[in-house]
Amino acid sequence: MNFRLQAGAAESSFCNILVIRDESDINHPLLEGMSATLERKIRDKDNGWITWYGKDEVRIIAILKDSNGKRDHELTEEARVKGAQALKKANYEKAATATVVRVSDSVSTEEMEAFIEGMCLAGYQFLRYRTEKKENTVKTVGVENSGLDQGALDMIAAVTDANFAARDLINEPVLQMDSVQLAAFAAESGKKHGFQVTVLNKQEIEKLGMGGLLGVNKGSSVPPTFSVLEYKPEKAVHDKPFILVGKGVTYDTGGYSLKPGNFMATMKCDMSGAAAVIGTMIAVASNELPIHLIGLVPSTDNRVNSDALVPDDIITMSDGTTVEVLNTDAEGRLILADALHYAKQYDPELVIDLATLTGAAAAITGNLGAALMGTDTKYREILINSGNATYERLWEIPYWKEFADMLKGDIADLKNIGGPVGGSATAGKFLEHFTDYPWLHLDIAGPAFLKEDQDYKQKGAVGFGVRLLFHFFRNISLR
């Protein structure tokens, strides 16, 4: 993370950030002399800020809105957005230190946690390729009267770091983050954070008969990799492991079903699912959650050369299924299918895959959330609730059995596309064919990569899924 969190006031704090909600808060000593202005601002529905300048300090007053009629996750999201705005204001004032103060219990501990999280997330910067690096000025943030101890603050910082790691992976161009480099990053992360990583090379992938991963890789000069990440604490709360599978297409041209130029410019983000898996492994291991967790990351780019797959080709998957490749831009499901079959050997408690899989899902959710489908019922609502809590929201799409009928092949077992309707559902049904365990699929094509800044999320990679999945695993580990 780009600044340090500490319980208690930051030393020599030039900037105090006061979090209030209503008139009961205006008697705090740091708000002395502001009562008339505060009363007016609290009633003002469009402005939730006051900035007060003293001789040697600046006070930023963040006013949270009335809580009446709002659900808990709506209140915490408002606080998260306020936290992001507060950090931007502190950086604007060129403050090196800041102290956040909850003025009274009118603001809940959960809202304060979200406020601090919003500040942390808003601090992300990707400056590696900038000649002139304009770094944020805030380096230390103290937190007073929040209900959060240093352990809670350290957890926020660790999850933020994991989210930033995922964002960095996605923001890197393919020249610096191909399939081999992605696997190397996963291995280094394992050494640093305490989980095991095994990377299978092309020869080992060939022995496993992973026709989907090998087929998509045929057009590339960079070999594919298949990374197995495992965190296995001594006292895991479940006998069976949870498994995460992440699509790791480091760049997607569409292959011979070539993408139009205006759709290709951000295709370094097509490994956002893989980045989410690696980031979640970092978050879970760093916080030592009692969850046996395995991450599977099949990785390649999708390029065009004389050896690349063409429409009408037929490939054989690792489970023996034959697939007519009718569209080479429907490549993500091919590499995920091999990984989902590989997961069977673990007899998992639950498998969740994440992928920037279909434009059809993005058309449903936009960048406001991800599409959800799958076969599991035990954990589905818990995951949806975690999505609301973190505001990495999930929405179940129609997933009727008839969508599977659209994938029946003409001269092979399956086709890799289903036709003009239900594109996200048919993609899900294709993946389901390779599962025999409880499974959920998150199509994150909509929220993975932003064209403009959005509150605590910057233009570019979002790292969608890391915060959601950490909250999910922490939640079930406490049950």
Q: What is the DSSP string of 257-286?
A: SPPPHHHHTTGGGGGHHHHHHHHHHHHHHH
- Where residue 33 falls among pLDDT bands split at 50, 70, 90? confident
Which run of H or of E encompasses 50? strand 49-53
CB atoms within 10 A of CB 272: 30
306 shares a domain with 172: yes
- In this prediction, residue 13 carries a pLDDT of 80
CB atoms within 10 A of CB 56: 7
- Where residue 85 falls among pLDDT bands split at 50, 70, 90? very high
Mean predicted lDDT score pLDDT of the chain: 96
β pairing state of 140-144 and 97-102? parallel
182 shares a domain with 59: no
Contact 437, 343 (CB under 8 A): yes
CB atoms within 10 A of CB 385: 15
Residue 260 within any structural domain of the chain: yes
408: three-class secondary structure by DSSP = strand
225 shares a domain with 90: no
Residue 183 within any structural domain of the chain: yes
Please give the residue range of the domain that contains residue 172.
Answer: 161-477
108 shares a domain with 176: no
Q: Which of 317, 326, 355 is nearest to 435 (CA)?
A: 317
Residue 457 within any structural domain of the chain: yes
Lowest mean per-residue pLDDT among 12-26, 179-193, 206-220, 231-245: 12-26
Residue 150 within any structural domain of the chain: no
Question: How far is C-alpha 7 from the chain's CA centre?
Answer: 27
Residue 154 within any structural domain of the chain: no
pLDDT digits (tens, 9 = 90+) for 324-357: 999 999 999 999 999 999 999 999 999 999 999 9
Give mean pLDDT, residues 161-188.
Answer: 98
Query: Is 242 a residue whose pLDDT tops 70?
Result: yes
CATH of the domain at 106: 3.40.220.10
* Domain termination site, one of 145, 173, 205: 145
Query: Is 93 a residue whose pLDDT tops 80?
Result: yes
Residue 72 within any structural domain of the chain: yes
Six-digit token string for 262? 């205006």
182 shares a domain with 141: no
Q: What percent of the chain has pLDDT over 70?
A: 99
Contact 130, 94 (CB under 8 A): no
Which 8-state DSSP code applies to residue 398?
A: P
- In this prediction, residue 160 carries a pLDDT of 98
CB atoms within 10 A of CB 30: 14
pLDDT digits (tens, 9 = 90+) for 40-80: 888 886 678 999 998 889 999 999 988 888 999 999 999 99
Q: Which of 455, 400, 386 is nearest to 429 (CA)?
A: 400
133 shares a domain with 172: no
Residue 268 within any structural domain of the chain: yes
50 shares a domain with 199: no
Query: Is 436 a residue whose pLDDT tops 90?
Result: yes
Which run of H or of E encompasses 54? none
Rounded to whole angstroms, the maximal C-alpha distance in the chain is 80
Q: Which of 165, 159, 157, 158 is nearest to 182 (CA)?
A: 165
Residues in CB range of 68: below 8 A, 6 or more apart: none
Length reported for the chain: 479
CATH of the domain at 341: 3.40.630.10
pTM: 0.97
Residue 151 within any structural domain of the chain: no
* Domain termination site, one of 112, 145, 178: 145
- In this prediction, residue 45 carries a pLDDT of 66
Catalytic residues: 259, 333
Q: DSSP string covering 376-391, please?
A: --SSHHHHHHHHHHHT
Query: Is 217 a residue whose pLDDT tops 80?
Result: yes
Q: Which of 242, 229, 163 is nearest to 195 (CA)?
A: 229
Q: How far apart are CA 306 and CA 304, in angstroms?
A: 7
- Identity of residue 186: A
**Cα→Cα distances 52→14, 99, 119, 140, 389, Å:** 12, 15, 20, 21, 32
* Domain termination site, one of 115, 145, 175: 145
Contact 298, 186 (CB under 8 A): no
